Amino acid sequence: MNLPQVEASVVDLSKFATVVKLVAFNPFQSGVNALDNINAISEGLVHDDLRTFLDTNLPKEKKRAKMILGVADSRIASAINELFTITCQHTGVVPELLRGKMNEKKNTSTVYFSRSATSFSKFSQRFN
């Protein structure tokens, strides 16, 4: 998908919901656990919870070479890239996908979009 297509789908939540599907979800265990995860991400560190989530939900290493993992921050992108040897992206369609997911969530937390596209923290999504 290119940026104009993503921007158009973000505006129309019914269209966005047909393009993006929830694949995996792992809630925080507590408020303290959520804060620990947020602090780690803000420092560009991969928390053990995020590491476990990504290890469980990302494809095996051979398939990762063909994927791009979308994240919200360049520092966490570097840390994930080092750990999982997967290309990470934080620009282009990634911010629009995050915006669309947040808009959808308001009407209905770093997540994994596939189709050789993207991934984030606690949510896991997949393109059709």
- pTM value > 0.85: no
Cβ pair 123, 112 in contact under 8 A? yes
Name residue 88's beta-bridge partners. 69
Average pLDDT over the chain, rounded to whole? 78
Instruction: Give the mean model confidence (pLDDT) for residues 68-97.
Output: 89
What is the residue range of 98's domain?
A: 3-127
pLDDT tens digits, one per residue of 89-105: 988 888 888 888 777 66
pLDDT tens digits, one per residue of 23-61: 788 889 999 999 999 999 999 999 999 999 999 998 888
Q: What's the pLDDT at 105?
A: 66
Between 44 and 114, the higher pLDDT residue: 44
Structural domains counted in the chain: 1
Q: What's the pLDDT at 1?
A: 56
Per cent of the chain over pLDDT 90 is 29
Q: What's the pLDDT at 50?
A: 94
